Amino acid sequence: MNNYRTILLIIIVALTGCAGLQTGPTGPAAVANSVRNEMGRMAVRAPSQPSVTLTADLVNKGEAAGKTAAAAGLGWLAGSLDAAAQTEEPFSAAFILALGLVTAPIVAAGGAVYGATVADTDEAIAEGNRVLEDSLAFAPARFQHNLQTLMADKAPLAHLFVPADTENAALRARGFDSVMDLQMRSLRSRPSENQYEVSFSSDNRVVVTALIDERLLETRHYARQTADASVSSWARNNGEVLLTDLDKRFAEISEEIVSEFFIAPAIRVRGLEPVSSGWGRAGRISGLKPLFVWSALDGASDTPSADVEYEILLFTKKNNPAAGVRSRQMRYVFAENLLACQSYRWKIRAHYDSFGAPAVSEWTPTYRFKTPCEKRRR
């Protein structure tokens, strides 16, 4: 019975959480359409060399072997003691305890072998860091190559990659309207929990500036981290192992940049009323001519714009279309009365221009409401 109650509670919590999905889009979004309209002809300034910080204070093979052996042996013995304590039969408890005492050294030996195999010597760490520091000098070029290739294929605006030291005045003179700075802020290695492996993190920022008045248009932050591995593993083939892994991270970041700045719908819409009051319940209205209200999330304002047209789709509970209209205002009342005592659903999306071409936002979630029923005459 308790299991059924637990499952029921989980279902109720999950369904309750769904109520928040009715309010509209959340999370990271594309840059505002107002920003896109100011990008014009864009220069993309290549990243300069980031700060590089490499961890040298790591556990070497000898220390790692002892550390791993002790941890493995103690962990195994503690588990044996716990298992023996929970066993009601004296013979079984004694057998488990004896087994733990006998096998703990074997487990510790296995842990020592693992620690000695994975960890580097002090000399290997120092040499590996030297190789990695040299190889990371190529990271900005690898990052730029990933983004440049993707933008050439997908970015729908005129752009040109320029060297990192190109001044804004020179870009203005060449007829650019904006500049996108690729800032690789840092590349660093971090020790793992076992203290003899490292992961690498890449911290990056993209800043777009309007060149006409040096006004900041947009800033986005992008960070990635690799898995854990020994320094010597990362440094193999003159650091190409690390660079290949970082290439995957740079490709992911490039996809995000291109999507957020150039491709993903720049306008999102959120319904305000009538909307559902909770999961499984429809918002109730007092008349048969409800006022539909929504807001636009494009990073600018919620005031109506002559450049944006909203498409409203109204349908019944059985998904039969009831009405569909377009409006430049951010509220609407249908000319005809809706049916009494009827469940309705509605959703809305925006139509606008992006980079000189027609674009459309995603549909909002489907909102629900119910019209009042006619009172029975006595």
| 224 class by beta-carbon count within 10 Å (0-12 exposed, 13-18 middle, 19+ buried) | middle
CB 263 within 8 A of CB 254: no
If DSSP states are collapsed to H, E and C, what string results for 100-122? HHHHHHHHHHHHHHHHHHHCCCH
Look up the CATH superfamily of 33-57+122-263: Lipoprotein like domain (3.30.160.150)
Domains 33-57+122-263 and 266-370 share a fold: no
The candidate with the shortest Cα–Cα distance to 361, out of 276, 291, 263, is: 263
Predicted confidence (pLDDT) per residue in 144-200, tens digit: 999 999 999 999 999 999 999 999 999 999 999 999 999 999 999 999 888 889 999
CB 181 within 8 A of CB 165: no
Instruction: Determine the Cα angle at 245 with ends 231 and 238, to 5°.
Output: 50
DSSP 8-state symbol, 45: E
Structural domain boundaries of the chain?
33-57+122-263, 61-118, 266-370
Beta strands 178-191 and 51-53: pairing type? parallel
Q: Which residues pair with residue 205 across a beta bridge?
A: 183, 221
Which pLDDT belongs to residue 97?
Answer: 46
The DSSP string of 118-152 is HSPPHHHHHHHHHHHHHHGGGHHHHHHHHHHHHHH
Query: What percentage of the chain carries pLDDT values higher than 70?
Result: 69
Mark residue 114 as left, alpha or beta (left: phi above 0; alpha: psi -120 to 50; beta: remaining): alpha
**For 139, how many CA atoms within 13 A lie in the half-sphere containing its CB?**
32
Which pLDDT belongs to residue 147?
Answer: 97
Which pLDDT belongs to residue 374?
Answer: 74
Q: Copy the structure tokens of residue 312.
A: 């409203």
Dist. CA 270–CA 294, nearest whole Å: 6
The CATH code of domain 266-370 reads 2.60.40.10
Which pLDDT belongs to residue 160?
Answer: 98
Predicted confidence (pLDDT) per residue in 253-284, tens digit: 999 999 999 999 999 899 988 886 555 455 56
Mark residue 319 as left, alpha or beta (left: phi above 0; alpha: psi -120 to 50; beta: remaining): left
Residue stretches of the chain with pLDDT short of 50: 1-22, 61, 64-66, 69-70, 72-74, 76-77, 84, 95-97, 99-102, 104-117, 280, 300
Dist. CA 285–CA 82, nearest whole Å: 62
pTM: 0.73
Instruction: Determine the Cα angle at 335 with ends 330 and 339, to 5°.
Output: 110
Dist. CA 274–CA 23, nearest whole Å: 11
